[in-house]
Amino acid sequence: MRATGTWDVGAYRRLGTAGAAAAVAGGWAVGTLPAHDPWGLWVPHGPAATAAGYALAYGGLTLLVVSWWLYGRAGASVRHSLVTLVWWAAPFVLAPPLYSADVYSYIAQGAMVLEGHDVYSVGPSVLDPAGPGGDAAASVGGHWTETPAPYGPFFLVLAKGVAWVTGGTIVPAVLGLRIIALGALALIAWALLQLAREHGRSGSAALWLGALNPLLLMHVVGGIHNDGLMAGLMLAGVVLALRGRWITGAVLIGLAAMVKSPAALALLFVGVVVGRAATGPLVRRVAKGLLPGLAAGAVAVLATLLGGTGFGWLGTQGVAGRIHTALSVSSDLGLGLGHLLRLLFGTDPDPVRSAVQNLGLLVALVLIAVLARRSWTGRTEPVHALGLALLALVALSPMVQPWYLLWGTAVIAATACDGRVRNVVTVLSAGLVHETQPSGSTPPYGFVLAGLTCAVGFLLLRRDAAVPDAVRVPGPRRPEHVGTDTGADAGTGTGTGTEADVRTGTH
């Protein structure tokens, strides 16, 4: 296997697995533990175990990030990368929820649907503490206890199924939802390989940034966020649309939007693909481009009717924006400006914050429209434009969580030919893994660690850019086929943007 110094991809695989195992071991003590676990598995173990847990969690996470960074430069085939993905994900499978309490909301909302509550008008607090989902409801983060569900009916039906099978008991319910998350991870990996092949990019590079990404392993497998399911369905739909099966693709994207609504953005760019492929006058081509949206709309209506949850999801898409997160630039600016005006003129800061948040969304919509226009005219490849549009939407949204970066990163991983875009999302991925504690809180030092990691990442990339081409580790050029072990890609182009094929022989 191609080596970097005295290390090869096998060594980095083992090192990353050790890091993931250490992070999970720490998570058993300091993860997002439930308020009550009747099985007695996920419970606090005292101050000494807590201190050791934090040391293991942060040390293991840092080791995983370093291993991931180096693995991307050491050279790995698609097959090796897929096996590495299994190795790195495996430690998270039986872990308690990590980095977020959202999975408890999912379980509680599934139990609410099972019991006939309107999840789009009331929060998990309506559940009987002694009934199905009661322990999950008690474990939900404080500001979500009274908050209606912002998720689509397709996901709520899946959560309902998990609540029904497990009776809402914490451990089996969490593991049931993690099985769905693992299925989403497999779907993401498959779609990344197909998109990379469609765009003439490296499959191993796409897997490295889009699937082996520690941010995804933490928050999709460890934290069980439904963003993974949304991304997997969306990417699979885009793959099918690119291959001419746009009706099936639109159905999958519609289901993705019925998990979380941002996936609907993919319909705009799939419509561009379909419209550009059509013949005839402009009006006819535009009309053809609208058909994927109509098909997905039909899926949304059907999923809502069959799910029995009602159309309340149309009115709850903005509930998350009421909660301030420090990663939201528009919310931070709006809040700061609002408090400044209150000091100067005694005005209420909330309307100011809302106005700035809405302005941010307007700017995002303008950028998305520009990207769609460039795609239609052939100046930007449509799927790559989708990745950029998702990143713009996240950057300018009123609520931003670290794992939201994965929406656009999953697309960029398979389409980006510009090393600068890949560099930015690579460094942000490495930095944002440190922003959240295993318990799900976001302490001030988390932002310091994230900032320091980003600074180190950009310095390393700058150093790599100064290395002469003759000694620089090249990135891959030609797409590979799954199962091929006669050659492998060296590097992922994270530091250079260079894409040259390097044969590495065996594993």
pLDDT tens track, the chain, 507 positions: 444 445 788 999 999 999 999 999 999 999 999 999 999 999 998 899 999 999 999 999 999 999 999 999 888 899 999 999 999 999 999 999 999 999 999 999 999 999 999 999 999 999 999 899 999 999 997 778 989 999 999 999 999 999 999 999 999 999 999 999 999 999 999 999 999 999 999 899 999 999 999 999 999 999 999 999 999 999 999 999 999 999 999 999 999 999 999 999 999 999 999 999 998 898 999 999 999 999 999 999 999 999 999 999 998 887 776 777 889 999 999 999 999 999 998 888 889 999 999 999 999 999 999 999 999 999 999 999 999 999 999 999 999 999 999 999 999 999 976 678 889 999 999 999 999 999 988 899 999 999 999 999 999 988 877 654 433 333 443 334 434 333 333 344 444 333 333 223 334
Alpha carbon distance 418, 350 (integer Å): 40
State the DSSP code for 492: -
Instruction: Give how far the C-alpha of residue 207 lies from the chain's centroid of Cα atoms, to the nearest Å.
Output: 14
Quickly list DSSP for 18-68: HHHHHHHHHHHHHS---S--TTSSS----HHHHHHHHHHHHHHHHHHHHHH
Listed in sequence order, the residues at least 6 apart from 19 whose beta carbon sits closer than 8 Å to its beta carbon are 59, 60, 61, 62, 63, 64, 65, 66, 67
Alpha carbon distance 281, 274 (integer Å): 14
Q: Which candidate, 384, 432, 414, 428, places its Cα nearest to that of 493?
A: 414
Grouping H, G, I as helix, E, B as strand and the rest as coil, residue 279 is coil
Q: Which residues of 384-398 are buried (b: 16+ CB within 10 A; e: fewer)?
A: bbbbbbbbbbbbbbb
Grouping H, G, I as helix, E, B as strand and the rest as coil, residue 489 is strand
For residue 429, give both structure tokens: 């991925």
Alpha carbon distance 169, 128 (integer Å): 13
